[in-house]
Structure 1
């Protein structure tokens, strides 16, 4: 069988090699094995080195397995023993969607034939998305033995993991698979093995391929807790890898739907949309030669005769439409700003350069006017046809925003556009969750344990302020049925759902399991290395629209604490909405330099987004003043907050006067 060439990657997990890559010996050995023993089925071998750190391991594994450029096979080496810092199984196992215990057994068996100490290894193997992951020992000898034991089987496994047709792959039976892989079973030497293989052949002959099925063990479950299992079975530590803010935003943008072009009438509903095509003028602006001053249309002689003198006023040209008589030599016509130039006229004299000599008998009209200057030139004070906009000229470009300032809307109206093609703006639903949450405007006093819902009004105000339509989906209780019902109802009617609460480690934090288990969604990240907002969750849910077409809806599940919810909405929800609305360039809040008005202490463990009030100072810089205590539940920290300081992970207090980065959330 001609197998397609596959992508492999090697991840070395070692503090020592991370500090000094020259100390790594296993990487080169594994690369050579793939090149020599890989039967020319591997396209390339990528390589990375990370320290013995769970988050670093998980972050790199996710990068190799998630997204369009995934590798078919990811091999890790190191960290599978019993040493205190051997954390590879603990880092990798929660990321695996389907475990492969057979590969683990095969590797251990191969090493066990060499030394009994092979039993001291703790490998794991399995599939994440379309990538097969295998963890090998850190010793070059042990890693080599383990990889050689399974390498020839890997192309077949990777093809299946990537979605290959199992019926075609197994059409020749086990013996054909062994021949293609270049391996031999022991069935020709051991009779009971022959019987075993025959049973497999029989299965394949009937076209039924036996695959592992998920069980109730934690390693076989979806990554989230099973809400039916009760508090004693919940995770004590989040199984989700910790992503940086930058990594999380990149994932959000990668998974957000591409902009959809629609036709919209040229009126106030256009404000906030981005154009999906260039806009050309059908007609020139102005469409006729017009005066740019109030005065008198005249005929300037081509022979240079002066305009100075006394002239009868033959007609009047107003900006209002109407018939205009042809001007004859020796006559002038009164004209107003913007009015069309009478046929025959070729210049306009300002009213300031004239005096009235006589009027009609009824005193209502000018009869004779004297022009006091002889300096007027041909085409003076005239706006030519198309001098503002030429016919066919591109007046607005694809990606331009129709702003509330009004200039773009006025421009479209001036060229007679009835409708234009723009990108559709997504509709967002907002939902609060929690048994303790009650309506903020409820009349009766709070009972013990109740909390007024401030997140939903806050998030809805922010989303409206960004220029998007928002739908209120109320409060869902911490019960699987209630939460699922609210989410299903919202998914049918909006493009994006923003929830708050229910994403931490409590037994009633049901957002993640409901999204995965009940709605068939995919959680792309469940933790972000930031303060506030660590448990922020982003997921996609596939469904079919009312007309049967497939669609993907986004769900942003934000933390329940008010500051966390607002900060994470600006950092993650806003860029997604801008992307799907067709905004070009950088997405998210504007970043700028600000000067501190006071000392601000950094967090030594997580990057912090510190709420501040930004004002302009006398030195032209924006000055930042902290809004007070930054605890994520502290609502007062949101008062007057129009900016977020971007503070690094550091044992450091930024002094007053220091220049730091900040994100602008609102007007200054």
Structure 2
């Protein structure tokens, strides 16, 4: 008897999706047979074109539990985040959830979820991801998800900033968590226009905007693979006169056709003479006679029989005319292979965004200033830190200095910067104090749209994201107001700004990699979800990544970023869970090299 199906049907019917309930239009009971499971799911995806297909049962360790193996081959994309969220929700209830093997993915325009067969487990799994399903369905269907985010913004609580000079109150939406905030940002991070560029070292970090097709064959001539002698293969072993030399140099091209009974000296990469059908390596030959001055070979003995084509790269054998040598969406890396295959071709890539960085605050002094700090002053560590991250990740940075807490000066600097950059990053001035002018200046003086002004996370609560419409069809400008505390600014740059930059530059995988890591010590939790600085490394004896905290995590303590290569995603504290024990597994966002 199916118990979990009716439970999920009730759950979906009571859940709103774009102000309408989910509508369950198909139900079916299938025996534990891979073929039958696969056929049913495939039909619902390909023929019925359903938004969502959910299977219950068959995800355990039992002999008859074959659902994951049946469903996974149907996926065109995997949804590892949804899978993780479901397992995490169940593990918070019982350790036996570790014995569940759910898989989730996308086929065409359909999301496929597999959940446990128990009504309780099935309901817990679906409830864990119910809020993100509407947005996921919109995206899979080719929509932007803006209708979902509009609801999120309306339903989110607000923070109020009081302008002491003008007596006005400005309200700024506060998004509930990092994930929804990043979704809002990436919705506005539209890939920049393609440009034609030459092939050189400046291509590194750029993304191809179109397929690259070979216009010429590679090699463009019959070339020798090694040093030796060009021969007519049918001649076989014997002593032959050396009638020419062919080296990889246009001034030494073979002129005459090689006839049977003749051989020619040839170097690696040298053009094979007309008439030659193979190359014999020099190690399989013996010099018989040289000229009186010893500078020229006159006759050589060939010791081996070779076949036609031996040791010859034929015309177009590496790349034929019209073949695709690199595909649209490929990231050109510093490894060199991509640059090598494009060396003879001009390419079209997506333009990389230009970033502007500025700091705000009367107390902030340029880090290059050699004067002794006065009481209450601090050196600006934010700009040099963000410059370093941006440049290390391949983006051009413009420095707009330090701006005092003065509305007119801030407005002037912002206006100047936004004419020169695609993305503007400011640190400081985004909290709730009298001199926190960033948000009201953006909104009232520049006419920017503020999408959120606070995020429920630690560190980085005051993070602000805004956009300014471009002129004459130009793309809109992205504006980030990051906290002034140096750790908060650095962490939010990695979490929010860097993904946006990568998406603007055309990256298909614009998010930082996430790895599961085991805690080496107990960690206390915060009332807000936390992005805890840590060092992760791979323990070969355990076969897993290990995460070690960098220590005290206060937002002003830059030492918490020393040697840090990951941000641990820690859940918010609850009455039931106030700390994570040593040995707990958490997600680690990789921001540096693995140690």
TM-score, normalised relative to structure 2: 0.72
Q: Which runs of 5+ in 2 are unaligned?
A: 1-9, 21-130
Deviation at 1:410, TM superposition (A): 1.6
Q: Is the 8 A contact 2:356 2:421 kept in 1?
A: yes
Distance in 2, Cα, partners of 1:313 & 1:622: 62
Determine if the alignment matches structure 1 residue 571 to structure 2 residue 571: no
651-660 or 453-462, larger mean C-alpha shift? 651-660
Distance in 2, Cα, partners of 1:371 & 1:94: 87
TM-score, normalised relative to structure 1: 0.64
Q: Is the 8 A contact 1:440 1:453 kept in 2?
A: yes
Determine if the alignment matches structure 1 residue 409 to structure 2 residue 335: no
**1:341-356 superposed matches below 5 A:** 341-356=272-287
Deviation at 1:70, TM superposition (A): 3.9
Determine if the alignment matches structure 1 residue 559 to structure 2 residue 483: yes
**1:37-116 superposed matches below 5 A:** 70=147
Q: Which of 541, 547, 550 is the equivalent residue of 2:468?
A: 541
Distance 1:551 1:286, change over 3 A: closer
What secondary structure is seen at the aligned counterpart in 1 of 2:592? coil
Distance 1:92 1:616, change over 3 A: closer
Distance in 2, Cα, partners of 1:239 & 1:420: 43
Deviation at 1:472, TM superposition (A): 0.6
Structure 2 equivalent of residue 381 of structure 1:
311
Distance in 2, Cα, partners of 1:291 & 1:477: 68
Structure 2 equivalent of residue 532 of structure 1:
459
Deviation at 1:598, TM superposition (A): 2.1
Q: Which of 500, 514, 523 is the equivalent residue of 1:591?
A: 514
Distance 1:530 1:22, change over 3 A: closer
Structure 2 equivalent of residue 333 of structure 1:
264
Distance 1:580 1:493, change over 3 A: same
What secondary structure is seen at the aligned counterpart in 1 of 2:369? coil
Structure 1 equivalent of residue 386 of structure 2:
459
Structure 2 equivalent of residue 256 of structure 1:
189
Q: Which of 562, 575, 580 is the equivalent residue of 1:654?
A: 580
Q: Which of 239, 243, 253 is the equivalent residue of 1:314?
A: 243
Deviation at 1:455, TM superposition (A): 0.7
Q: Is the 8 A contact 2:533 2:561 kept in 1?
A: yes
Distance 1:550 1:422, change over 3 A: closer
What secondary structure is seen at the aligned counterpart in 1 of 2:331? coil
For the aligned residue pairs, the C-alpha RMSD in angstroms reads 3.1
Determine if the alignment matches structure 1 residue 425 to structure 2 residue 356: no
Distance in 1, Cα, partners of 2:12 & 2:288: 98
Distance in 2, Cα, partners of 1:658 & 1:94: 35
What secondary structure is seen at the aligned counterpart in 2 of 1:622? strand
Distance in 2, Cα, partners of 1:606 & 1:92: 16
Q: Which of 523, 532, 540 is the equivalent residue of 1:610?
A: 532
Determine if the alignment matches structure 1 residue 505 to structure 2 residue 432: yes
Q: Which runs of 5+ in 1 are unaligned?
A: 1-17, 29-56, 77-88, 96-222
Deviation at 1:549, TM superposition (A): 4.9
Q: Is the 8 A contact 1:224 1:516 kept in 2?
A: no
**1:179-190 superposed matches below 5 A:** none
Q: Is the 8 A contact 2:156 2:174 kept in 1?
A: no
Structure 2 equivalent of residue 182 of structure 1:
none
Distance 1:339 1:572, change over 3 A: same
What secondary structure is seen at the aligned counterpart in 2 of 1:564? helix
Distance in 1, Cα, partners of 2:228 & 2:13: 83
Distance 1:316 1:94, change over 3 A: closer
Bigger radius of gyration: 1
Structure 2 equivalent of residue 391 of structure 1:
321
The CA deviation string for residues 61-93 of structure 1, in whole angstroms up to 9 with x for no partner, is: xxx9x977549x99x9xxxxxxxxxxxx9x789
Q: Which of 401, 415, 435 is the equivalent residue of 1:488?
A: 415
What secondary structure is seen at the aligned counterpart in 2 of 1:258? coil
Q: Is the 8 A contact 1:234 1:507 kept in 2?
A: no
Structure 1 equivalent of residue 69 of structure 2:
none
Distance 1:315 1:438, change over 3 A: same
Distance in 1, Cα, partners of 2:522 & 2:174: 33
Q: Is the 8 A contact 1:242 1:529 kept in 2?
A: yes
Structure 2 equivalent of residue 171 of structure 1:
none
Q: Which of 208, 211, 232 is the equivalent residue of 1:278?
A: 211
Q: Which of 373, 396, 399 is the equivalent residue of 1:469?
A: 396
What secondary structure is seen at the aligned counterpart in 1 of 2:253? coil
Distance 1:20 1:381, change over 3 A: closer
Structure 2 equivalent of residue 632 of structure 1:
555
Distance in 2, Cα, partners of 1:420 & 1:20: 49
Deviation at 1:20, TM superposition (A): 13
Determine if the alignment matches structure 1 residue 437 to structure 2 residue 364: yes
Deviation at 1:609, TM superposition (A): 0.6
Distance 1:345 1:411, change over 3 A: same
646-655 or 514-523, larger mean C-alpha shift? 646-655
Distance 1:372 1:21, change over 3 A: closer
Q: Is the 8 A contact 1:227 1:513 kept in 2?
A: no
What secondary structure is seen at the aligned counterpart in 1 of 2:272? coil
The CA deviation string for residues 227-267 of structure 1, in whole angstroms up to 9 with x for no partner, is: 5236xx768xx753333211111110111233211111222
The CA deviation string for residues 554-595 of structure 1, in whole angstroms up to 9 with x for no partner, is: 1000011111111111111111111111111x3221111223
Distance 1:67 1:344, change over 3 A: closer
